[in-house]
Structure 1
Amino acid sequence: MNNSNEKILISIVIPTYERPIYLKRAIDSALAQDYKNTEIIVVDDNDSDSDYRIETEKLLNSYSSVKNVIYLKHETNKNGSAARNTGLKFASGQYIMFLDDDDEILPARIRLQVDLMEQLDNTWGACYTKYKKIKGKDDVQISSETRQGELYVEALMRSVYIGSGSNLLVRKSIADEIGGYDESFKRNQDFEFLARLLENYKLAYIDECTLIVHYEIRGKKGTYEDSVATDTFYINKFRDKIDAVSPENKRKVFVMIALERFRYSVRFNKVSDGFRNLWINNVSVMELIRYCIYAIHRAITKKAYGFKL
């Protein structure tokens, strides 16, 4: 085991909201890292008078003797982005990782990521690894996303499938530079953060599974209208950045978002609207066919990766 870089402090920020039953697993996975120079910052985003706050406090009290576990509390629920930013402001590490309260990291994760980042120059802003996503009892995806380097346009397209915001180890100086998370985002928080991160920095990849994303417990039902509203909000927030890329890349961004919206439309039986949006965004028949083949291949193989236009 190479611990030559263990003089470097790593901050692991765990925002938590209404999941005290799963939070212990996330904290314990951070404590079980074979890289020990870490601070684990739990940011409680529950309302101060809620039962979830009481349960979370009780859980964190059981870690009171663990010196590197730090417990911060919001007075009222703000949102996940705000909780991550609270942790970012408090963090002292050279690198930072945002771990969702229902995910878990495997013991070698931090060591592998730090060792890689320390070999790279400062043009590399973050790294991610292979991951396993558990969506249900018999529905487990294994990532096959391996892209690395300059991926800004792909990030604007939201087509770099890192699986979860839990999958990034980021240079803290860069997270500070871009202002952390945009707190106006209620959804797509990980996508927006990644896009702004990769505007000026590169992304590295480690071909080893070190993250388990527990998606089976997340309340993510929503409606078709919710999905459309989320896409519209994303486009409006990133309009200036999308307009600034080349015409070819700008088209790719809108085509990718339209193809994803078509997938929503099939799921929610709103196919006519999905086709209408494809037409508005000049998506070709061949692009739609390729995307459908991609979606079917992902469903059959249980592999998670982004579509390449």
Structure 2
Amino acid sequence: MKFSIVITTYNRLNLLKRALDSALSQTLPCEVVVVDDCSSDSTQAYVQERCEALATAGNNSLVYHRNSENIGHSKSVNAGVELATGDWIKLLDDDDYLASNCIEEMTNAIALRPQAVICSCQAIQVDDKELEISRTRKPGPGKVFYIPQEDIHYGMLMEQVPFGTPVQVAFSRDAFLKTGGWDSTLDTNFDDIDSWIKISQFGDAIFINECLGYRTVWSGAFNQKFSIQNRLDTNILIKQRIYSQVSPKYCSVLPQFQYIRDYLKLHWSLVALKQGKLFNAAQISFPAIFSPGAWQLLREARRSRQSTKSSHLIQKLILVSD
């Protein structure tokens, strides 16, 4: 099994240096592909110098690709995966970085479940000074466990299977290519989750209960540019796509999609309230605020986030390593 780390970047050389250092210092060396989305800063010169220095030492693991024009994050991800030669891909945004043992731990976990096509770990959320803000929750028991393919989409729908952001996720290159890659119409707005939905059609999922990535939460993040209404609308679209993939075995417990839609409206109205946007919160929540089914889903989602023992799906998960 060979891993490739694909780093996408655009005009953030100061952050890219950290991401690149973390990729090149892995305890299990791997290919590193940097996709530069036509930056106008010194990114090209810096990465090319790193490539030349490594090549002089007999190391050709660093690959640099510069887009001829600015094509956006999603298309840059697709370009990087196309260029990569690894069987498995670890994505990395330029403002995030990896623990030094990330690729080694993922390689060991995937070897325990050859049927897997996607792997996720916990992540530490840090501020722009690299100070820890929080950690993503443990999604299940033990150190490593897997979820059979037929259970993944129901788990995603009910928010019991949290793959997370790109810094947490690795995937089979073959499975990714079968999906056609990232949807550029969703650029930086749930495009990653949409990809996890599609990849999961082709095999099982592996989860590692260990923090192997660092996600920077700051005002310069790409998703900060979207309005709450835009995030809500796209979130509903993503849930519709997950809903269509749920195995027939869950028909008897599958909630009506209207309840899910209303639950999302409640969720995003609470986000608006936290941001002090009272008018937006009131506008989004009506008439979902009168839906008992939506409130029930909101309560279940909160319980699921607080405890890995709260769902019947989690209770059925299969440990592959303690």
Shift of the 293–238 alpha-carbon distance from structure 1 to 2, 3 Å rule, reads closer
Letter in 2 for 1:129: C
- Higher percent of residues as helix: 2
**Other-structure match for 1:49:** none
**Other-structure match for 2:44:** 57
Shift of the 197–173 alpha-carbon distance from structure 1 to 2, 3 Å rule, reads same
Listed as ranges, the matches of 1:37-116 within 5 Å are: 38-46=30-38, 52-65=39-52, 66=54, 67-116=60-109
Question: CA shift at 1:171, angstroms?
Answer: 1.6
Letter in 2 for 1:77: N
Identity %: 18
Counterparts of 1:192 and 1:158, CA distance in 2: 14
Whether the aligned pair in 2 keeps the contact of 1:45 and 1:76 (CA below 8 Å) is yes
Counterparts of 1:39 and 1:189, CA distance in 2: 24
Counterparts of 1:91 and 1:199, CA distance in 2: 22
Counterparts of 1:24 and 1:211, CA distance in 2: 16
Whether the aligned pair in 1 keeps the contact of 2:123 and 2:215 (CA below 8 Å) is yes
Whether the aligned pair in 2 keeps the contact of 1:15 and 1:42 (CA below 8 Å) is yes
> For this pair of structures, how many residues does the alignment match?
287
**Other-structure match for 2:165:** 164
**Other-structure match for 1:3:** none
**Range 237-246 or range 71-80, more displaced:** 237-246
Listed as ranges, the matches of 1:197-236 within 5 Å are: 197-216=199-218, 217-218=220-221, 220=224, 222-231=226-235, 233-234=237-238
Q: 2:7 aligns with which of 14, 23, 40?
A: 14
Q: State the TM-score, normalizing by the size of structure 1.
A: 0.79
**Other-structure match for 1:283:** 293
DSSP-derived class of the 1:132 partner = strand
**Range 62-71 or range 98-107, more displaced:** 62-71
Question: CA shift at 1:232, angstroms?
Answer: 5.0
Whether the aligned pair in 2 keeps the contact of 1:157 and 1:256 (CA below 8 Å) is no
Counterparts of 1:256 and 1:201, CA distance in 2: 29
DSSP-derived class of the 1:141 partner = strand
Listed as ranges, the matches of 1:238-257 within 5 Å are: 241=245, 246=251, 248-249=254-255, 251=257, 253-257=260-264
Q: 1:26 aligns with which of 10, 14, 19?
A: 19
DSSP-derived class of the 1:71 partner = strand
Q: Any stretches of 5+ residues in structure 2 without a counterpart? A: 55-59, 141-145, 313-322
**Range 282-291 or range 126-135, more displaced:** 282-291
Letter in 1 for 2:31: E
DSSP-derived class of the 2:138 partner = coil
Letter in 2 for 1:134: V
Letter in 1 for 2:177: D
Counterparts of 1:243 and 1:119, CA distance in 2: 24
Whether the aligned pair in 2 keeps the contact of 1:255 and 1:282 (CA below 8 Å) is no
**Other-structure match for 1:174:** 175
Letter in 2 for 1:218: A
The root-mean-square deviation of aligned C-alpha atoms, in Å, is 3.2
Residues 187-222 of structure 1, C-alpha deviations (whole Å, 9 max, x = no match): 101111111122342211112211111122425154
Shift of the 40–83 alpha-carbon distance from structure 1 to 2, 3 Å rule, reads same
Q: Any stretches of 5+ residues in structure 1 without a counterpart? A: 1-7, 47-51, 298-302
Whether the aligned pair in 1 keeps the contact of 2:123 and 2:135 (CA below 8 Å) is yes
Question: CA shift at 1:238, angstroms?
Answer: 6.3
